[in-house]
Amino acid sequence: MTTAADHAATRHKTWRTLAAEALAGTGVHASRPVYANLTAPALVAEALRRNEGRLAWDGALMVETGVHTGRSVQDKFIVDEASVTEDVWWGRINQRLAPDKFATLRSRVQAYLQGQELFVQDVYAGADPAHRVRVRMVTEGAWQALFARNMFIRPPERELEAFEPDYVILHAPHFHADPAIDGVRSGTAIALSFGQRMIVIAGSEYAGEIKKSIFTVMNWILPQQDVLPMHCSANISEAGDVALFFGLSGTGKTTLSSDPKRRLIGDDEHGWGESGVFNFEGGCYAKVINLSKDAEPEIYAATHRFGTVLENVIGDHHGRLNLADDRLTENTRSCYPVEYIPNVELSGRGGQPRNVVMLTCDAYGVMPPISKLTPSQAMYHFLSGYTARVAGTEKGMGSSPEATFSTCFGAPFLPRRPEVYGGMLERLIERHSADCWLVNTGWSGGQYGVGRRMSIRHTRALLNAALDGRLARGGFRREPFFGLSIPEHVPDIPPDVLDPRRSWADKSAYDRMARELVGSFEKNFRSYEEAVGEDVRAVAIRAAA
């Protein structure tokens, strides 16, 4: 408890002493004011004072992120330290950075930050205190400090007094790295040292780099604590049963986990261990392009509130939002505290999952709308991480769908090999007898351009039947291409919706498309075959037969 004497002592400290305390453990020494742990209104005021953004009609803070409107995946590095090198999944995603080059980059960023007005936010990652990471972020931007305050878990004031960070983020969006000096690829660098427990982010204003850098840290730390880190949303029923929703962008992960009959635990990142499921975050980072007030009223309302940060969302001169305007990017984002969602589990925690749902947006129109998976099939599809992109979602794409595989539904954030996470998932599913489902939110009756998008009404009805246990008690039949178990009958769902082949007018065209997709799965899975058990290899062989 803070006493009057404590407040008096604080008042007599010089600004340099207060700044040094706020920056402890960061290696940054202040020469200008440091604003530590400001509230949301104060950070909004500072952002406006510094012309970092403007207020929307309803009070949200509108900002633009410049040239980077998404993550810069080619500029992500992990420091190649002796203590971690054997365990890192090196390659295109996790590029090596020599320790001496990181030391140079870190020192140059520390020197740069020393000459700026600075904002410090002390936050937690992990709603379970037993697996919590304390994060101190130093940034030159008030709005990025507000982003961190919204996105992570805010400690009570009494816990800030003795806060000591486990990890430090040095965030310098206006500092440009020099490849010749710093050993990186461009003026942008996201460099993570597990040994020094420090993250340097330079040359990018896109705040998603902050969020996903800490997710990468959790993906590194938690397997050693027998906790599976997951790129998934989660919700919980009134009876206490938890459901997990894995899926890549555009598959419906946020939409389908927002259910008026179930409380949201979190919309993106969670851990699963012996004490159950817990959210890593204290906020949401929703994609809001074409956001509908009718279809997603809770996210829509949160997007129009004071304290929310809107990245690259367009508004008129009065600040009235146009959520359909993609002139800056299709990746428009809304960042708000989780308490802005009314039907939420504020503890950020739940028990053992009863259902595990893997979402795919299959633009080939081949996958069933829902199918039941064995633990081995669940690991196979988890390691595959399949969805399909369609024309218009990315520059340079043609008119045909393109299969996309992102292992564990989160390859860009995995510092360890995928089979580490896949093996943990398989064991947890078996240990806790969770039912597993593969749900296609993509196309039916033909591929993209021929068929039609799955009805959200049908998808919700099928999910409700799965989550309340009715579907698992019914009969199933085996489809011939992937060996998936399809429900034989679901009330109010037409038979040709349940069976994708029946929905196609040209059955031979369906068979050709299904064989093509199976071939894509087979090709993708070759890199994992040697590292998985016979049961999972049997699933892969069955799909390729």
Whether the CB-CB separation of 151 and 183 falls below 8 Å is answered with: no
CA dist., res. 506 & res. 511, Å (int): 9
CA dist., res. 266 & res. 151, Å (int): 11
CA dist., res. 79 & res. 469, Å (int): 46
132 is catalytic: no
Tallying the residues shown for the chain, one arrives at 545
Q: For residue 205, give the amino acid letter.
A: E
Q: How many CA atoms lie within 13 A of 455 on its CB side?
A: 11
212 is catalytic: yes
CA dist., res. 402 & res. 212, Å (int): 25
Active-site residue among 154, 263, 333, 372? 333
Q: For residue 527, give the amino acid letter.
A: S
For 422, phi then psi, to 5°, come to: -65, -45
CA dist., res. 331 & res. 290, Å (int): 11
Active-site residue among 128, 267, 268, 499? 268
Active-site residue among 254, 360, 406, 485? 254
Handedness of CA 133, 196, 285, 248 (dihedral sign): negative
Active-site residue among 253, 263, 381, 458? 253
268 is catalytic: yes
DSSP, collapsed to helix, strand or coil, labels residue 437 as: strand
Whether the CB-CB separation of 333 and 303 falls below 8 Å is answered with: no
21 Cα distance to chain centroid: 32
71 is catalytic: yes
Minimal CA–CA distance to 523: which of 413, 414, 443, 403? 403
253 is catalytic: yes
Token pair 């101190």: residue: 136
Whether the CB-CB separation of 435 and 355 falls below 8 Å is answered with: yes
CA dist., res. 535 & res. 13, Å (int): 64
Active-site residue among 149, 231, 354, 458? 231
CA dist., res. 80 & res. 226, Å (int): 24
Whether the CB-CB separation of 302 and 336 falls below 8 Å is answered with: yes
CA dist., res. 219 & res. 72, Å (int): 19
468 is catalytic: no
Minimal CA–CA distance to 214: which of 159, 282, 275, 163? 282
Any alpha helices (H) in 116-188, and if so which ranges? Answer: 142-151, 157-160, 179-182
122 is catalytic: no
Name the residues annotated as catalytic: 71, 212, 231, 249, 253-254, 268, 333
